[in-house]
Amino acid sequence: MDKKQLQKFIQWLQEKNYIVIGPTKEDGQILIKTISESSQLDFSGQLPLYSFKKYLVPSREILFKYKKDDFKADLTAFKQALIGVSIFDLKAILLYNQVFEKDPYYQARLNNTLIIGQSQIPQFQNLSFKVWEDKYEEDILEHLQFDIFLGQAKEKKSSEFKIFTGSKKGQQILNDFAKQSGWKSDFEHVEYAGPIKEEGANPEMMKIKEKMPGSLETDIWQNLDQRCIECGKCTIVCPTCFCFSLTDQPCLNKDEGMRKRCWDSCFYSEFSEITGGHKFLKNTAERIYNWYYHKFVRIPDEYNFPGCVGCGRCSMVCPAGIKIHEVLESIKTK
């Protein structure tokens, strides 16, 4: 598929009532926005500051409304095509698919979402893990979940994409497009084989997982306690942070109200507070330790892969200059 065919494909998706969303360059920044044509897409390898997270888990949403005994949950979702999803964000979606496996609101959006990945890797030096290799054949793609993947053609200067599919939905979409556009339906299908490669879990992740428990009293966290200002920016840009708060909001009319879900952050002082004012996370050291422990111990224990995709966004936005790759190196060598 070349760039002209990609433009036709985007137009075809729009005719099928898909809202097309992808990375685009604006005022020197790469932003994830609604696009109208392929020329707006930016596959330069520059990392978008924000991920595609909000399109699957909105920052705020109404879960249900009630009026006396009448309970109404809105599970409708519009059709959207997320195009140009990087390997980092595909890994994050892989985690979300497991975390929100039984969440009807997430599943409604996922079922109405076409996920189109792409092979360009952001050129950012402070990565937590190596998440990509020179090849993107089945041994890599079979451990990601996507519908369509735009791979790089063998000749790196080529303007064509090598197309892979990762779902029946992706196959059907491309076959339908081919029938109506005359495009030669040339793609390779990749069966999802689970998140873990045959050689096992990432050894770097396993080393961190072994070192984390019992390390709260070390200088690592005490030093970070003096630096971190608990702004929560790292959790907002992190593609895998999924903490949220629930708020019940009554209306002025009697026996009417709604329940809302909103992004939250474990760095906020009130996050761990319960009735009576007790806080499980009492200071900055405990909060930042909890953030790392969740990503590198609890999530690996539950889902067998780390809660960090290695994108380095948290390091980019931290006003205190905390670099996740430096913290992880300290944990491994403590």
pLDDT at 47: 84
| Integer CA distances (angstroms), 312 to 129, 278, 319, in order | 9, 33, 14
Most confident of 2-6, 170-174, 190-194, 271-275: 170-174
How much is the average pLDDT of 219-225? 91
Interacting residues of 163 by C-beta distance below 8 A, sequence separation 6+: 1, 148, 149, 150, 151, 174, 186, 187, 188
| Extents of the domains making up the chain | 3-189, 203-333
Strands (E), the chain: 19-26, 29-34, 60-67, 70-73, 80-85, 113-118, 148-152, 161-165, 188-189, 244-250, 256-263
Q: Are the C-beta atoms of 161 and 150 separated by less than 8 Å?
A: yes
What would the two tokens of residue 201 be? Answer: 């879990």
Short-list 94, 55, 49, 57, CA closest to 306: 94
Q: Are the C-beta atoms of 24 and 81 separated by less than 8 Å?
A: no
C-alpha–C-alpha distance, residues 74 and 297, integer Å: 35
Q: Are the C-beta atoms of 328 and 208 separated by less than 8 Å?
A: yes
pTM of the model: 0.89
Four-CA torsion 7, 157, 148, 185, nearest 10 degrees: 70
The whole-chain average pLDDT of the chain stands at 87
DSSP-assigned letter for residue 153? P
Q: Each residue of 260-293: pLDDT tens digit?
A: 999 999 999 888 888 888 888 889 999 999 999 9
